[in-house]
Chains A and B, each alone.
Chain A
Amino acid sequence: MKRVLIFILLILNILNYGCSMPIENYNMVLLFGIDKDVKTGGYEVTFQLPKMTKGGGEGSSLSNETFSVSGKGKSIELAVKDAYIKSSRVPFLGHIQAVLIGEDMGRDGIIELINLFERDPKYTLTPWIFTVDGKAKDVLETKFEYDTMPAFVILHITRDASRYSLKFYAIQLNKFIEKMEALPHATLMGLIKLNKDGNKEMLKIAGASTYKDGKLVGMLDEGEAVAYNWLLGRVKNTDIVTKLPSGGATVNVGIEQARTSIRPVVKDNRLVYRISVRAIGYVEQQSTFIDFAGNPSIFDEINREVDKNIETYITSIVKKAQDQRVDFLGFEKVLEHTNPTLWEQTKENWDDIFPNILVEVNVDTSIKNTGWILINPKIY
């Protein structure tokens, strides 16, 4: 009896072993694009997949080339299945690196797309997500001259280059969902577009797109993206260029550390948001001779000028949001989690309260060093 049982269990184990299909039958979808299908009112999905080439040994290997397939359908999933039957292998959706949303699709609403990715386990929840300034399909079908696949270019920019530049905002799908589900249901998404550099087509990730209640409601340019990143304290390593009033020198200050705190308070019966920024930087580059050793007060002057710059950024982005009457800054969430009693009183009328919020910005920059040069050589 025991032997028979062991035999049955072994057979069951062998039957269950491995994937239901050999791995060679799959191809990974690296980029997932989605547009509105204007003709039918449905959806058009485009996959970008790597071209598999025969390697030296057994099986196939990845080249840097990609190809794309599209499918149309009344629902997103139907469009995906339509693309399945046009693919050379079964598209595998568990490793999508980025989702690109066409502008039309964004304006129409992306709730269905988010719903599908959240419900169906065959999709990954961590791709980077971008609005395309134009059609997603156009980006996915363009041949670029990069030394790697476009998906990895996007990954490089969002994951690595974001450490050095604040000119764009990038977010992964899971974090976007988190922000979209929290009040006030408004947040930012990355923005991507095609950019011509001479004859060459390039990808340009810059600025951001704003979403409210799952619909694209606006776009931010590069400067506004910088301001938003300052407000949210998403600063790892950046530069601020400022002109000193005393000597007219242009100084490039490298910021290597910055923290922002946002605290809502009630002052004279009005809701006031106190935004404090603490930044630490160093002098990275300057245009004229500045004697840091002989005139230490120059540090204070640079600090003040950088403070002014950051303050301008922050007030400008708050004004932009208030003018649009869309709280993509997440001020309501801050109030909910720092002063829930007050939030209970304001949550019903938040859309009317938000544009009238006062903002007090307090920036404290501290230049800690001057790189490897203290006294400039007298060649300037």
Chain B
Amino acid sequence: MYKSEGTQMTYLSSRGFMWLMINTLLSLSVFLNPSPTTAISKQYAWISILIGTLQAMIVGFVVIKLGMMYPDKTVVEYSQEIVGKFIGKIVGMIFILTYFSIVVIVLREFTMPFQSFVTINIPLLAILILTMILILYAVLKGLKAIGSCSDIVMIFLAVFILLIFIMPIKNIDTLNIKPIIPHSIGLAVKGSFISGSFLAEDIIALMLIPYVNDKGKLMKYNQLAILITGICLSAVVAIEIMAMGYERVSSTIFSTFILLREAQLSQSMERLEPIAVAMWTGLVFIKLSIYFFITVEGLRQWLGLKDYKVIAYVLSPIVIFLAMLPENISEVLVFPSRIWTPLIYPIVLFGLPLLLLIIDMIRKKAVKQ
């Protein structure tokens, strides 16, 4: 299935787009965000995430504004119109590489809880290959199939979030999260860039806008998706701080997983973390599928090919190979902390779309005059 020249095929309603976005933004950040944010912002981490959400909503506004200038084209196509063919190709490739890097790193991060807690004896390569087969299958079936899967998986997301809110209720100590108003606003702002960078993954909209049918409501649903995700993430972090104390949250890699592991709602309702991980698998599957889809579709447009299937087949083993490269867990976590948040977030996620938007507006004004 590919986007044919001239006639645009639409697969997503704007509401479906919102669910897909929430799924994509929340699935990994709910596991990877609490610990680094709490390490910086301590008990104010939940406020940090709300500040990060505001940052991401600004990115979301720029992204949709830019995308709606060319509603039938993806960023790989219209960047060549805005800044010329050569620079446009470079800009397009930067976006494709960003999407691709997420596929690789998320695939590797996805295996970490499995290797640590669930299937300790299964080799890394086996998990990577099996997951990649599943993703490849979904991508070959096209965006419509991924969208339908996302609608189903949303139920998992709701149950997963509910489990996080209800299960640890007996462990909660409200003193842990006090004071509600931060004594140092700088502490709260410092940690906000991590969640901001996770939520600014909204730039996938630059590739998805052409596939949405009722584009008039796109801005509203996109901002709503970021807001809902931010509030959910903030609430999860608040629960974690109350149930575990900020010191423990910041020192644990998968604090959300540990939160569920030690939650005992009653004598029979405990150790439900395998159920949570099973649901989380579904969520990350959607995230990986959508990112892999826009990577191969973007590359198809960049290369000017007609079918993306060949690219998907070629890229799959490369993704597995690259995901195997990090030697240990600290090398895996280097990417989000040293590359994604300080470099990719300000330059690619925020700077580049804003620059394209400004140039496009100036260019159009000049043409009018």
Q: Which residues of A contact B (CB under 8 A)?
A: 5, 9, 12, 16, 20, 94, 118, 121, 124-126, 174-175, 177-179, 181-182, 333-334, 337-338, 340-341
Q: Does B171 lie within 8 Å of A181, measured CB to CB?
A: no
Q: Does A338 lie within 8 Å of B116, measured CB to CB?
A: no
Closest-by-CB residue of A relative to B247 is A181
Contact of A178 (CB < 8 Å), options: B130, B178, B247:
B247
Q: Does B179 lie within 8 Å of A334, measured CB to CB?
A: no
Tell me how far the C-beta of B89 lies from the nearest C-beta in chain A, rounded to whole angstroms. 35
Q: Does A178 lie within 8 Å of B117, measured CB to CB?
A: no
Distance A118 CA – B258 CA, assembled complex (angstroms): 9
Q: Binding site of A, secondary structure by majority: helix, strand, loop or mixed? A: helix
Closest-by-CB residue of B relative to A118 is B252
Contact of B262 (CB < 8 Å), options: A5, A125, A181, A337:
A125
Closest-by-CB residue of B relative to A334 is B175
Specify which of B133, B261, B262 lies most central, judged by the most chain A CB atoms within 10 Å of its CB: B262
Between-chain CB contacts (< 8 Å), 20 pairs: A20-B121, A118-B252, A121-B120, A124-B271, A125-B258, A125-B261, A126-B270, A174-B171, A174-B244, A177-B248, A178-B244, A178-B248, A179-B245, A181-B248, A182-B245, A333-B175, A337-B175, A337-B179, A338-B179, A340-B183
> With A178-B248, A182-B245 in contact, do A337 and B122 touch (Cβ < 8 Å)?
no
Q: Kindly state whether residue B8 has any CB partner on chain A within 8 Å.
A: no
Mask for B129-150, Cβ within 8 A of A = 1, else 0? 0100100000000000000000
Chain B residues with Cβ under 8 A from A179's Cβ? 245
Distance A235 CA – B271 CA, assembled complex (angstroms): 28
The interface on chain B, measured as residues whose beta carbon lies within 8 A of the other chain's beta carbons, has a size of 29
Contact of A174 (CB < 8 Å), options: B133, B178, B251, B262:
B262
Q: Kindly state whether residue B24 has any CB partner on chain A within 8 Å.
A: no
> With A126-B270, A337-B176 in contact, do A178 and B183 touch (Cβ < 8 Å)?
no
Distance A125 CA – B176 CA, assembled complex (angstroms): 20
Q: Does A178 lie within 8 Å of B245, measured CB to CB?
A: yes
Closest-by-CB residue of B relative to A342 is B183
Distance A77 CA – B287 CA, assembled complex (angstroms): 38
Tell me how far the C-beta of B240 lies from the nearest C-beta in chain A, rounded to whole angstroms. 11
Chain A residues with Cβ under 8 A from B119's Cβ? 16
Chain A residues with Cβ under 8 A from B247's Cβ? 178, 181-182
Chain B residues with Cβ under 8 A from A118's Cβ? 252
Contact of A337 (CB < 8 Å), options: B133, B178, B248:
B178
Closest-by-CB residue of A relative to B261 is A125
Specify which of A9, A16, A337 lies most central, judged by the most chain B CB atoms within 10 Å of its CB: A337
Mask for B250-269, Cβ within 8 A of A = 1, else 0? 01100000100110100000
Q: Does B264 lie within 8 Å of A126, measured CB to CB?
A: yes
Chain B residues with Cβ under 8 A from A125's Cβ? 258, 261-262
Distance A334 CA – B133 CA, assembled complex (angstroms): 52
Q: Kindly state whether residue B74 has any CB partner on chain A within 8 Å.
A: no
Distance A16 CA – B122 CA, assembled complex (angstroms): 9
Tell me how far the C-beta of A332 lies from the nearest C-beta in chain B, rounded to whole angstroms. 12
Chain A residues with Cβ under 8 A from B176's Cβ? 337
- Of all A-B residue pairs in the complex, the 7 with the closest CB atoms, nearest first, are A181-B247, A337-B178, A340-B183, A178-B245, A174-B262, A125-B262, A121-B117
Q: Does A340 lie within 8 Å of B245, measured CB to CB?
A: no
Q: Kindly state whether residue B35 has any CB partner on chain A within 8 Å.
A: no
Tell me how far the C-beta of B172 lies from the nearest C-beta in chain A, rounded to whole angstroms. 11
Distance A137 CA – B252 CA, assembled complex (angstroms): 32
Q: Does A126 lie within 8 Å of B179, measured CB to CB?
A: no
Chain A residues with Cβ under 8 A from B222's Cβ? none
Q: Kindly state whether residue B43 has any CB partner on chain A within 8 Å.
A: yes
